[in-house]
């Protein structure tokens, strides 16, 4: 017979997986909008707001379970991890919204010379690390923690490469520099939150705090 606690944990996990799909879609749309100079702000804002609501629901359900069922150490760690993960995925949506805001604020920008920046590659790699974080939530497979950590280190390298390219560029419109600078920063932050999710999963499974960054 399932414990009420098990039912609640399953309910929260379902909410997190729903958040994961929504946040992934928001990030992908924002990246597509950035590269195509397409206004996707309305849709990303709607998804970001939905993620905020779902994050609050996860926190409410988890807090209620802690209050009503007095979970043992392992279950308590999982509940705390789930609350943290919900926040991290809400941040996925927020950074997707921030990327979509760039076109709204700047009204368009020019191109860099081919090969100067790797923003497109960085965006693709960020989507891959988000996918790993979602598989980690679904499977709780700790081997994915190290796969994610390696991928996140690659994102950091691309971020620094792009910063160097932006610093060294000459004769480029200021809007172009600002748009790309903001975008690589937001992408780097998304990857950071993927690492936070991996740390939370590891904590839930082992009780030990892990720092991947």
Q: Which of 55-59, 98-102, 191-195, 200-204 comes out lowest in average pLDDT?
A: 200-204
pLDDT of amino acid 82: 94
- Is 39 a residue whose pLDDT tops 90? yes
Q: Give pLDDT tens digits for 164-174.
A: 888 887 777 88
> What mean pLDDT comes out for the span 15-38?
95
Q: Where are the alpha helices (DSSP H) in 37-173?
A: 41-69, 73-106, 119-139, 143-168
pLDDT of amino acid 62: 92
pLDDT of amino acid 153: 93
- Is 148 a residue whose pLDDT tops 50? yes
What's the chain's average pLDDT?
A: 89
Helix 4-36 and helix 73-106, axial crossing angle in degrees, nearest 10 = 20
> What mean pLDDT comes out for the span 118-142?
92
pLDDT of amino acid 128: 96
At residue 38, φ and ψ (nearest 5 deg) are -110, 140
- Is 184 a residue whose pLDDT tops 80? yes
What confidence tier does 1 reach under pLDDT thresholds 50, 70, 90? very low
Nearest-5° angle of CA 160, CA 162, CA 168? 105
What confidence tier does 97 reach under pLDDT thresholds 50, 70, 90? very high
- What does the domain layout of the chain look like in residue ranges? 4-206
20 to each of 14, 168, 174, how far by Cα in Å?
10, 37, 35
pLDDT of amino acid 89: 96
> What mean pLDDT comes out for the span 115-122?
81
- Contacts for 135 with CB less than 8 Å, ≥ 6 apart: 141, 144
**Architecture of domain 4-206 in this structure:** Up-down Bundle (1.20)
């Amino acid at each position: 017979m399932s414990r009420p606690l098990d039912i609640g944990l399953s309910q929260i996990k379902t909410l997190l997986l729903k958040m994961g799909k929504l946040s992934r879609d928001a990030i992908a749309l924002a990246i597509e909008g950035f590269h195509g100079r397409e206004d996707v702000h309305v849709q990303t804002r709607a998804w970001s707001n939905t993620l905020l609501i779902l994050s609050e629901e996860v926190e409410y359900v988890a807090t209620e379970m802690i209050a009503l069922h007095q979970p043992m150490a392992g279950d308590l760690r999982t509940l705390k991890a789930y609350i943290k993960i919900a926040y991290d995925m809400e941040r996925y949506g927020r950074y997707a919204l921030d990327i979509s805001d760039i076109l709204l604020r700047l009204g368009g920008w020019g191109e860099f010379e081919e090969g100067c920046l790797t923003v497109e590659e960085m965006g693709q790699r960020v989507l891959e690390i988000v996918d790993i974080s979602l598989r980690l939530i679904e499977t709780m497979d700790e081997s994915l923690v190290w796969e994610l950590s390696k991928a996140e280190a690659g994102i950091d390298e691309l971020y620094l490469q792009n910063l160097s390219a932006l610093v060294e560029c000459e004769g480029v419109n200021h809007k172009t520099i600002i748009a790309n600078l903001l975008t690589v920063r937001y992408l780097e932050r998304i990857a950071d939150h993927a690492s936070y999710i991996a740390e939370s999963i590891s904590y839930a499974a082992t009780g030990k705090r892990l720092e991947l960054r």
